Structure 1
Amino acid sequence: MRQEQTSFGVSSGGATLVEITDEIDNWLRGTGIVTGLVTIFCRHTSASLTINENAAPAVRRDLLRWLDKAVPKGSHYEHDDEGPDDMPAHIKSMLTGNSLTVPVSGGRMALGTWQGIYLVEHRSMSHRRNIVVHIIGE
């Protein structure tokens, strides 16, 4: 078994989903590992990761609207150190998760046809997020 690890930054531009599939795939091909597991980890508490459809942009818009409706901004949160979207961003991150594990087969992530990996930015302001990627396999 071999292991490789890297990290990279992602600029968000505010609340959005940023697809990072290609960046991970390109790095993965360079490792030479053909079969294994890749773990993707977001090093933040107000951004998260998800696997979702990467064909229709409406999916991303609907997901963001749903998250905003499920966890609205407001003055009803005690924690608001960085503004009214601070605590809602933490809750959204907790709901969507900060890590993903994907099987690797044939040197590529075994994602479905319409699946992509996304950084989900939950804050209104632009941020630079750090993603750590680790592969174990052979």
Structure 2
Amino acid sequence: MSDAFTTRTLAVTTGRRETVHDLTDACAAFLDEAAAGRDGLLNVFTPHATAGIAVIETGSGSDDDLLAALHTLLPADDRWQHRHGSPGHGRDHVLPALVPPHATLPVIAGRLALGTWQSVCLVDTNKDNPDRRVRLSFLG
């Protein structure tokens, strides 16, 4: 494989509750190896129909605010056509339209070029599937 493109898949356990799981440290560790000080792009992708990738502040309540906003926009009730799984599970399948399953981020000198308060996060509202995968791909 070329040094210009490197990819790795992370296994992430999100548990049995809705969560915003911070991936920033895992992204930085991957870039320490893959980017080796080079500029490029990091693509973060989750191959799930009920999860997304967000760049958001964490630890100050913003992650909880995001989950609360998703509850307002996508209530876990019986209005959804997609009805298998936990009550309201159909909303989990609409989530990726609002929180896409990918993000592409700049890498400068081998490090993520995030803003001061930005973190890369997996957003998972599906309580039925606690085992997730996230693919990190560096192009540089």
TM-score strictly above 0.5: yes
Structure 2, unaligned runs of 5 or more: none
Q: Say whether 1:65 aligns with 2:49.
A: no
Q: Say whether 1:46 aligns with 2:50.
A: yes
Q: Say whether 1:16 aligns with 2:19.
A: yes
Q: Which runs of 4+ in 1 moved over 3 A?
A: none
1:15-65 CA distance string (max 9 Å, x none) = 010001001110111121510011000110111110001341x11111101
Structure 1, unaligned runs of 5 or more: none
Residue 105 of structure 1 is matched in structure 2 by 108
> Structure 2: how far apart are the matches of 1:126 and 1:81?
13
Q: What letter corresponds to residue 86 of structure 1 in structure 2? A: H
The DSSP-based 3-state class of the residue aligned with 1:18 is: strand
Q: Over the residues paired in the alignment, what is the CA RMSD in angstroms? A: 1.4
Residue 132 of structure 1 is matched in structure 2 by 135
- TM-score, with length taken from structure 2: 0.91
CA spacing shift, 1:21–1:3, aligned 2, 3 Å: same
Number of aligned residues: 136
Residue 6 of structure 2 is matched in structure 1 by 4
The DSSP-based 3-state class of the residue aligned with 1:129 is: strand
How far off its partner does 1:102 sit?
Answer: 0.3
Residue 75 of structure 1 is matched in structure 2 by 78
- TM-score, with length taken from structure 1: 0.92
Q: What letter corresponds to residue 136 of structure 2 in structure 1? A: V
> Structure 2: how far apart are the matches of 1:81 and 1:55?
33
How far off its partner does 1:92 sit?
Answer: 1.5
